[in-house]
A = this chain, B = another copy of it.
């Protein structure tokens, strides 16, 4: 595709052997950018069911055809470099937990995000529930390596969908004083949680500070759906952080090659990151770019495949050139239990993120079974391993927080609007 021959599977070999440091050919990065520019200009990106986004692009030189927008890549980079902060601070209820994202700081680490099921320590599987969720948040709070307690560590299957954002935010705010991630259930829910958390944190934000990081996903290939677009706008306008991510299944939702996947994903995130800056110049953003080989026989992504670790290394370098913090993957794996495969795949993915220099690592603990389960055992094992790698001692574990009925009642009131 596009004549790119500079990134092949054998590149992973040379990236991982022989030379001793993770090096990426600068000219290959330039070729990825040039390829993405051609995709943006000739193929365009679809922005579905959100006329306001189309109007904004029209104002800023986009060429619109139905819901497809043709864009100029160099202009998008200019917009991003012009106002996106190179780093920002995520604030917790406890000021000691405030975490700078980017600027060469150690990676912030959050647990798995989005698991419908839970693998319990007794080996049984259960549907995610509020009770388990609260236990998982307490575990994340206690783990010294986990600096951000994340969001949707498991799905709250026993809570009505409309109430889930509130119940999750309450769990994070009452069982932990670390920063965490916001909801993207709807723009209204996102704003409600932002209000409640701002109140709970209480301190007036300084420039470059916010409370919540939100996962805004493109829908590859080359599409953004209505809800992420509306959430992106609402969140950026509230000066909270968006992690704009393209999560591609190589061979299914992106080209099968590494080069093609990087080109497509970079085009997608470039558009999303620029949108955030156009809605709200200076709004904090993180870039995420992932390619997971997809097995067309089982119709499942192959987590743990080293090709995705190569994508990770390139993604970090592309973000560095753009001047924004970048997301890394934690212990993602296709293994069904916490066995040798899970340990090895997860450790290699985490090592690729840490060693390439990712700034915010999602899925840092607990991921199992293509992300369909959070494993309590793997959560503990990974949290401990990362703590050891990064030099945290057990003395830095956080004690459980005392129950504060007034805080809980206040927050419930605020979250109910």
A377 to B339, CA, bound (A): 12
Set of chain B residues within 8 Å of A106, measured between Cβ atoms: 13-14, 17-18
CB-CB under 8 A for A351 and B347, given A12-B391, A17-B106: yes
A324 to B188, CA, bound (A): 63
A107 interface contact, C-beta 8 A: yes
- Return the chain B residue nearest A355 by Cβ: B355
Set of chain B residues within 8 Å of A13, measured between Cβ atoms: 106, 389-391
Task: Report how many copies the assembly holds.
Answer: 2
Contact of A388 among B104, B306, B354, B355 (CB under 8 A): B306
A105 to B354, CA, bound (A): 25
- Return the chain B residue nearest A8 by Cβ: B391
CB-CB under 8 A for A381 and B340, given A18-B357, A19-B357: yes
CB-CB under 8 A for A339 and B343, given A22-B22, A107-B17: yes
Please state if A345 and B343 are interface contacts (CB–CB under 8 Å).
yes
Set of chain B residues within 8 Å of A389, measured between Cβ atoms: 12-13, 16, 306, 309, 348
Set of chain B residues within 8 Å of A22, measured between Cβ atoms: 20-22, 355
Interchain nearest-CB distance for A368 vs B (Å): 10
A398 interface contact, C-beta 8 A: no
Set of chain B residues within 8 Å of A107, measured between Cβ atoms: 17-18
A381 to B388, CA, bound (A): 25
Q: DSSP class of A's interface residues: helix, strand, loop or mixed? A: helix
A341 interface contact, C-beta 8 A: yes
Set of chain B residues within 8 Å of A20, measured between Cβ atoms: 22, 316, 320, 355-357
A9 interface contact, C-beta 8 A: yes
CB-CB under 8 A for A19 and B104, given A12-B391, A389-B13, A390-B13: yes
Residues 100-115 of chain A, each 1 if its beta carbon lies under 8 Å from chain B, else 0: 0000111100000000
Contact of A18 among B9, B17, B105, B338 (CB under 8 A): B105
- Return the chain B residue nearest A9 by Cβ: B391
A372 interface contact, C-beta 8 A: no
- Return the chain B residue nearest A348 by Cβ: B347
A13, A19, A381 pick with most chain B CB within 10 angstroms: A13
A10 interface contact, C-beta 8 A: yes
Set of chain B residues within 8 Å of A390, measured between Cβ atoms: 12-13, 16-17
A155 to B1, CA, bound (A): 52
Given contacts A20-B22, A340-B346, 14 further A-B contacts (CB under 8 A): A13-B389, A16-B354, A17-B106, A17-B357, A18-B357, A20-B320, A20-B357, A338-B340, A340-B340, A340-B342, A343-B345, A344-B346, A351-B355, A355-B355
